[in-house]
């Protein structure tokens, strides 16, 4: 079974994000970049499927500038077999990404597509669902457990009321939630081996997709600074403040 | 040759520019310009001359090859792989080593599953030749990076983890075919139980005053069965726990390494808990008429190109200490910077006081200097160039500065630094090792 995993290059989760002085965007200058944590979980899940003997080949795809190769190499070091970079310096929205991924799905014909449920930079939580709609494949989002059973995959999803398990017929699309697994660390020998694994670079035009922008960013502002908390003398004062100041009671 | 020519030109031209007559008639500026142009031209000419010469030589040989591009003049950027290794090891150190450090230090005990779990990083079989199941990467530079980042997590636990890989590196570099085939595959097997992890340690240090690693009192003698070793070794990590020891001993007037399995008769281990590096389970080893077999002498019957070189062995050991110290110092700095910015005294963060800010700035400068010297030595070692002097300089700087940074880390935290509430006191104790091992400061 072939598994396709999509990974995104984002600001490292440890970095304190800064906004550009003109409020046009987030400042990416000299900022440490890394693989989106949810994508790391997706790669790990695919590698575990391969270790179980379920998956036979893991293809990793990323879309972005040339340097996004780093995230593909990291995936290869974690255990993926080959990589595809759709190279573009354009700013991408979820729908464009989904269209590009659809083209890759058509070309590669994977049985399972695994994506992170969202990326920690824009937090859109759209790409997996859009890809499902565009390809017409069944989708299981926010997976906390993925079990492949013959030509079906059972995806346990984290929903507000608890857990819901959906059975999808393959090929299918799965997006990963935080508790699906804990990604491994790339071992030194595997990092060295990753260099020898194939990495194909294509352009959006090669896949017949035109990059169009339908959205414009009006303004980017940092969240309001939190002011320090206060101490209340007793319960009565607390209730009074909750009622009259916070207006939550 | 090109540089010689350029030097000559520069000398002549600058003599001309500083000539009193030239100065008097305000010709200095144009003269300097002349000096610049003429030497530049001269340099270009000399380069062309050399290129032509090389070309002619190649033509005479019948094959024409382009001249190799000159290496960048000064480039300290790591390769993509090295950067990935750093990221991976640092992330591992942060989530799997740092949280264990406090308890491990208190108990003076290695966490039960540390060696088992750290197998995931593949440190041990990194250097082992591919034919024997490893990755075939014997890289002192990468080792320095790994040692630094692991020790950033915790010095003592990093020391315990790296104990086996230092043995693997030594056998991979100098062991003869038989020794490599016998021992190295044991390090490649992925154990599933903590008791099955194959571990090893190096035993060089001896408990005499002003120990000098070149003046070993542990002696080996040849006999019919192989060799007999007598002596006392101190400061061995995983003492009594490891499966294999590399023991340094004098044999026929030369310093050599003997491969001694832990189950050999006559080995007596004694734990010797110390001020620092407590969780590495340091101990002493008494070798009483220890009989080892004929193939225990590391690198015996090797071709001259692979002959064991004790000096290189000691230098690379010192570099490992340095790299670990850098990691620990960096950990201290990373801990201190937010602290001094957040700790308020007299209505402002203490970092607003120059006496504090200067100490932090000095630490940063010193850590960078230590790192540069270690990297220089390690990269020369990697290219098989002489690196004794570089390793020595790096070691001296690291001895002095790591102690200073350790003590200043405690100082900057004030009374808190003295308590176990903060890791600074542990780092201070651990960093103290640099100045006492391998003769340390007094040698």
Interchain CB distance below 8 Å, B88 and A73: no
Would you call A70 and B135 a contact, using CB atoms and an 8 Å cutoff? Answer: no
| Element at B185 (helix H, strand E) | helix B177-188
Predicted pLDDT at B54: 55
What phi and psi values does residue B270 have, to the nearest 5 degrees?
-135, 130
At the fourth CATH level, which superfamily is domain A2-221?
HUPs (3.40.50.620)
Chain A, residues 29-48, CB within 8 A of chain B, namely 34
Structural domain contains residue B342: yes
Least Cα distance to B316 among B370, B260, B379, B368 occurs for: B379
Contact between B75 and B249 (Cβ < 8 Å): no
Phi and psi at A83, nearest 5°, equal -125, 155
List chain A residues with CB under 8 Å of B137. 188-189, 192
User: What is the domain range of residue B378?
Assistant: 310-435
CA distance A129 to chain B (A): 31
Determine whether the interchain pair B88/A34 forms a contact, defined as Cβ–Cβ distance below 8 Å: no
At A249 the three-state DSSP class reads coil
B36, B51, B66 - which closes a domain: B51
Q: What is the pTM of this model?
A: 0.79
In a domain? residue B175: no
pLDDT score at B110: 93
Instruction: Kindly report the nearest CA distance between residue A184 and chain B, in angstroms.
Output: 8
As a whole number, mean pLDDT of residues A181-196 equals 89
Q: What are the residues whose beta carbons fall under 8 Å from the beta carbon of B221, sequence distance 6 or more?
A: B227, B228, B251
Domain boundaries, chain A: 2-221
Instruction: Inform me whether the C-beta atom of residue B361 falls under 8 Å from chain A C-beta atoms.
Output: no
Asked if the Cβ–Cβ distance from A189 to B126 is below 8 Å, we say yes
Question: Residues 162-191, chain A: which have Cβ within 8 Å of B?
Answer: 184-191
- Report the helix count and the strand count for chain B, using DSSP H and E: 15, 9
User: Residue B121 and residue A184: Cβ atoms within 8 Å?
Assistant: no
Distance of residue B382 Cα from the nearest chain A Cα, in angstroms: 17
Rounded distance, CA B212 to CA B206, Å? 9
Residues of A in contact with B134 (CB under 8 A): 189
Nearest to B84 among A184, A189, A191 (CB): A191
- Residue B50 CA to residue B3 CA, distance in Å, equals 11
Residues of A in contact with B80 (CB under 8 A): 70, 73, 195
DSSP A227: P
Mean pLDDT confidence for A121-131: 93
pLDDT score for B1: 44
Give bridge partners of residue B244 from the DSSP assignment.
B200, B261
3-state SS track over A158-187:
EECCEEEEEEEECCEEEEECCCCCCCCCCC
For residue B57, the model assigns a pLDDT of: 55
Two tokens at A76? Answer: 């290869």
Chain B residues inside the 8 Å CB shell of A194: 81, 84
| Closest-CA residue of chain B to A75 | B84
- How many angstroms separate the first and last alpha carbons of chain A? 55
Q: Please answer whether residues B242 and B115 qualify as being in contact, where contact means their C-beta atoms are separated by less than 8 angstroms.
A: no
Q: Phi and psi dihedrals of A142, rounded to 5?
A: 55, 50
- Which chain A residues are Cβ-neighbours of B139 within 8 angstroms? none
State the pairing for strand pair A199-202/A82-87: parallel
Q: Tell me the C-alpha distance between A121 and A130, whole Å.
A: 18
> In whole angstroms, what is the distance from residue B394 CA to residue B371 CA?
8
Cα–Cα nearest to A49, from A15, A82, A1, A92: A1
A-B CB pairs within 8 A amount to: 53
| φ, ψ (nearest 5 deg) of residue B381 | -60, -45
Domain count, chain B: 2
Instruction: Confirm or reject contact between A194 and chain B (CB < 8 A).
Output: yes
- Answer whether B91 touches A (CB < 8 Å): yes
Who wins on pLDDT, A31 or B439? A31
CATH number at residue B341: 1.20.140.10
Bridge partners of A157, per DSSP, are A143, A164
Q: Measured between beta carbons, which residues in chain A are less than 8 angstroms from residue B123?
A: 188
Interface mutation target, options B83, B85, B87, chain A, most CBs of A under 10 Å:
B87
pLDDT at residue A229 above 80? yes
**CB-CB neighbors (< 8 A) of A47 in chain B:** none
B410: Cβ contacts below 8 Å, ≥ 6 apart: B417, B418, B424, B425, B428
Chain-chain contact of B137 with A195 (C-beta, under 8 angstroms): no
pLDDT digits (tens, 9 = 90+) for B110-159: 999 999 988 888 888 888 888 888 888 889 999 999 999 999 999 999 99
User: Does A73 contact B134 at a Cβ distance shorter than 8 Å?
Assistant: no
**Nearest CB neighbour to A191, from listed B88, B92, B134:** B88
DSSP codes of every residue in B48-85: HHHHHHHHHHHHHHT---PPPPPPPSS--PPPHHHHHH
* Contact residues, chain B, for A189 at CB < 8 Å: 122, 125-126, 134-135, 137
Shortest alpha-carbon distance between residue A156 and chain B (Å): 27
Query: Is B91 within 8 Å of A185 when comparing Cβ atoms?
Result: yes
- Considering only CB atoms, A188 lies closest to which of B80, B91, B122, namely B122
Q: Please list every residue in chain A whose beta carbon sits closer than 8 Å to the beta carbon of residue B135.
A: 188-189, 192-193
Which residues of chain B from 267 to 296 reach within 8 Å of chain A, CB to CB? none
Asked whether the bond before B110 is cis by omega within 30 degrees of 0, the reply is no
Report B:141-180 residues touching A (Cβ under 8 A): 142, 146
Chain B: give the shortest CA distance to residue A59, in Å. Answer: 20
Q: Do A185 and B135 touch (CB under 8 A)?
A: no
- As averages over each run of 10 residues, the pLDDT of chain B (443 residues) reads 50 53 54 51 58 57 65 79 91 94 93 89 86 86 95 96 94 93 90 89 89 91 94 93 95 95 94 91 94 93 88 94 97 96 92 95 97 95 93 94 95 91 95 81 57
Q: Classify residue A211 as exposed, middle or buried by CB count within 10 Å of its CB (0-12, 13-18, 19+).
A: middle
Give the residue from B225, B224, B223, B302 showing the smallest Cα distance to B257. Answer: B302
Chain B contact present for A197, CB below 8 A: no
pLDDT at A99: 94
B235 part of contact set with chain A, CB < 8 Å: no
Query: Min CA distance, B156 vs chain A (Å)?
Result: 21
């Amino acid at each position: 079974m072939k598994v396709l995993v999509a990974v995104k290059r984002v600001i490292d989760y440890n970095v304190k994000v800064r906004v550009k002085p003109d409020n046009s965007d987030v400042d990416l200058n000299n900022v440490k970049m890394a693989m989106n944590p949810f994508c790391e979980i997706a790669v790990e899940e695919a590698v575990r499927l391969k270790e179980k003997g379920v998956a036979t080949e893991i293809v990793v795809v990323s879309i972005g500038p040339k340097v996004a190769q780093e995230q593909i190499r990291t995936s290869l070091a974690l255990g993926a077999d080959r990589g595809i970079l759709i190279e573009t310096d354009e700013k991408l929205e979820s729908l464009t990404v989904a269209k590009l991924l659809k083209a890759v799905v058509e070309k590669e014909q994977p049985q399972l597509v695994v994506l992170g449920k969202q990326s920690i930079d824009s937090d859109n939580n759209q790409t997996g669902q859009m890809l499902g709609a565009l390809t017409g494949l069944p989708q299981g989002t926010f997976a906390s457990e993925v079990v492949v059973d013959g030509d079906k995959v059972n995806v346990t999803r984290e929903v507000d009321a608890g857990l819901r398990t959906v059975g999808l017929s393959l090929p299918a699309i799965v997006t990963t939630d935080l508790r699906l697994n804990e990604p491994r660390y790339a071992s030194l020998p595997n990092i060295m081996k990753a260099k020898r694994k194939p990495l194909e670079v294509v352009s959006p035009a090669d896949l017949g997709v035109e990059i169009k922008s339908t959205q414009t960013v009006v303004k980017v502002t940092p969240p309001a600074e939190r002011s320090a908390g206060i101490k209340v003398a007793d319960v009565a004062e607390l209730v009074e403040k909750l009622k009259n100041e916070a207006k939550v009671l | 040759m090109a540089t010689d020519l350029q030097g000559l030109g520069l000398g002549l031209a600058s003599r001309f520019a500083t000539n009193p007559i030239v100065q008097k008639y305000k010709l200095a500026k144009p003269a300097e310009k002349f000096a610049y142009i003429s030497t530049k031209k001269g340099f270009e000419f000399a380069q062309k001359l050399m290129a032509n010469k090389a070309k002619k030589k190649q033509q005479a040989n019948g094959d024409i090859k382009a001249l190799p591009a000159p290496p960048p003049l000064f480039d300290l950027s790591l390769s993509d792989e090295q950067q990935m290794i750093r990221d991976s090891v640092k992330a591992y150190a942060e989530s799997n080593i740092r949280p264990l450090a406090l308890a491990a230090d208190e108990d003076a005990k290695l966490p039960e599953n540390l060696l088992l779990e750290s197998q995931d990083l593949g440190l041990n079989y990194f250097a082992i030749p591919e034919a024997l199941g490893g990755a075939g990467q014997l890289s002192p530079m990468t080792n320095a990076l790994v040692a630094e980042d692991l020790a950033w997590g915790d010095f003592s636990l990093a020391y315990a983890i790296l104990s086996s890989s230092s043995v693997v590196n030594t056998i991979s570099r100098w062991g003869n075919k038989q020794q490599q085939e016998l021992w190295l595959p044991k390090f490649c097997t992925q154990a599933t139980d903590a008791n099955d992890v194959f571990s090893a340690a190096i035993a060089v240090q001896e408990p005499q005053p002003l120990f000098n690693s070149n003046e070993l009192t542990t002696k080996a003698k040849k006999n019919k069965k192989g060799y007999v070793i007598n002596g006392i070794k101190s400061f061995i990590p995983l003492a009594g726990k490891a499966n294999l020891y590399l023991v340094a001993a004098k044999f026929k007037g030369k310093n050599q390494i003997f491969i001694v399995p832990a189950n050999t008769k006559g080995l007596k281990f004694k734990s010797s808990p110390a001020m620092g590096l407590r969780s590495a389970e340091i101990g002493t080893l008494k070798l009483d008429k220890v009989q080892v077999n004929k193939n225990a002498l590391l690198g015996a019957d090797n071709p001259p190109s692979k002959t064991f070189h004790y000096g290189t062995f000691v230098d690379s050991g010192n570099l490992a200490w340095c790299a670990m110290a850098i990691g620990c110092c960096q950990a201290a700095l990373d801990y201190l910077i937010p602290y001094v910015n957040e700790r308020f005294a007299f209505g402002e963060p203490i970092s607003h006081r120059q006496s504090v800010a200067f100490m932090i700035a000095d630490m940063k400068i010193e850590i960078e200097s230590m790192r540069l010297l270690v990297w220089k030595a390690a990269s020369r070692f990697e290219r098989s160039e002489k690196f004794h002097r570089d390793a020595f300089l790096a070691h001296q700087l690291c001895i002095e500065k790591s102690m200073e940074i350790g003590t200043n880390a405690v100082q900057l935290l004030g009374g808190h630094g003295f308590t176990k509430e903060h890791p600074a006191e542990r780092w201070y104790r651990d960093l103290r090792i640099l100045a006492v091992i391998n003769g340390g400061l007094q040698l």
